[in-house]
Amino acid sequence: MYRKMIALFLIAPLLLTGCWDRQELNDQAIVLGWGMDLAEDGQYLATANLVLPLASKSGGQQGGEQGGRSGFMTESAFGKNNRDAEQNMQRKLSRVLFPGHRRNIFIGEKLAQQGVFSILDEYGRSPKVRPRTNIFVVRGGTAQEAMSLAYQLETNPAIAVQKIQEKSGAPISRSLLDFYIMANGNGCGIMPALTILPPEVKTDKKSKNDSPPQTTLGLYGAAIFNSQLKLAGYLNYDEFWVRLWIANQLSARSFTTILSSIDADKPGGSAEDALSGATSGKTVTVNVDTFKSHITPVLDGGLPSFRILLEGKGYIEENDSPLNLSKQENVDKVEARMNQYLKARIEKVVKKVQKEFKTDIFGLGDTIHRRHPYRWKSLSADWETVFPGVELDIRVKLNITGTGITGESLLPTREGGEK
């Protein structure tokens, strides 16, 4: 009996070990980007951005290429949904599609206008899809067009758009998760929006080594979805940061404002003076690297209202005005003007969202839900109609903490500036 037990213990590891279902790396097609478009016949067109094995072995590549070969490949297939299109795509690939490293999902504008509910289920259900993934709408184009463009600074455009988003002060690797949270909260949603940008000035190559500007991908702003998860409109690059600041998601941003003649005499002045452009060229740029948002709901029996305090800290990066920034009183004048400028910009964007899109992308309803859950029960059903009429008291408090490495300009003073 003893010998039989020993034999059993020796044989058991042989039966239990081994990776019978293993998949070697050489047999996997690693997906970094996935795109979905709506075809004319109502089918979905899926596009996969795949890593080329040779391009991933070494650095030092230029223009997303190695030895004249692109660092990525795109493949596409039609299907009734994500999984059906993936299965149809697989018959053209010698390796098994592996979406475990997928970083970005692209959605064509036509599909976004019809609604994204039909394709998002798989992203939240499949264990192969990471919830911390970026998802983008391609404004004025298709996902396939965006994913087919080579990007010169990166080997793969799927990596490039993520870095562009990060450098613009927006959070990364969570836009899909945030969309699910918003859709299950206020019922609306928001995604980053990309656009295909031709060069501002077209320049021809005069030799094979020249590298003129090329058509590329750029961050347009944000795409807003209504309660039916259909595209309602966009906030452009100069607007989308407002939503990020109010939602406590903005990490960095530079602001440039125009100083009017009244600033030479006293702090403040009217916001119209700063926005009119009457003193074009007399500008100050402030780089802000710290943002905070404080939202306080006010419930007095009628419609709710909100007090929103937006705080920030930054330093002056450029001064084209005649103000001598070595004097603290002049720094205070720039701070007062910048606060006026930002307040006017923010109020304009908030009004646009309330009147045109009618969707609470700022999470104001969630604030009531957290602080006054019983009151939210009576408001939640009609929040879509209540939100456009909600009054917002917005205050901006930007603190300038420095003027760069010098206060007074190294250039001689002109245009009647202080000596």
pLDDT the model gives residue 112 = 96
Residue of 193, 183, 192, 309 whose CA lies nearest to 246: 309
Residue 313: CB atoms within 10 A of its CB come to 16
Question: Is 147 part of a structural domain of the chain?
Answer: yes
- Residue 225's Cβ-side half-sphere holds a number of Cα atoms within 13 Å equal to 29
The enclosing H or E element of 377 equals helix 373-379
Are 191 and 280 within one domain? no
**Angle in degrees, CA 182, 352, 184, rounded to 5:** 10
Q: Kindly provide the residue ranges of all beta strands, DSSP E only, lying in 140-273, ordered along the sequence.
A: 189-197, 216-225, 231-236, 253-258
Mean pLDDT of 328-351: 92
pLDDT band at residue 260 using 50, 70 and 90 as cut-offs: low
* pLDDT higher than 80, residue 406: no
pLDDT the model gives residue 63 = 45
Q: How many residues does the chain have?
A: 419
Question: Is 15 part of a structural domain of the chain?
Answer: no
Are 213 and 248 within one domain? no
pLDDT band at residue 324 using 50, 70 and 90 as cut-offs: confident
pLDDT in tens, 93-121: 888 888 888 889 999 999 999 999 988 88
Are 166 and 125 within one domain? yes
| Structural domain that includes position 97 | 26-237
Question: Is 9 part of a structural domain of the chain?
Answer: no
Are 174 and 288 within one domain? no
Average pLDDT score over the chain: 84
pLDDT in tens, 348-372: 999 999 999 999 999 999 999 999 9
The total number of structural domains in the chain stands at 2
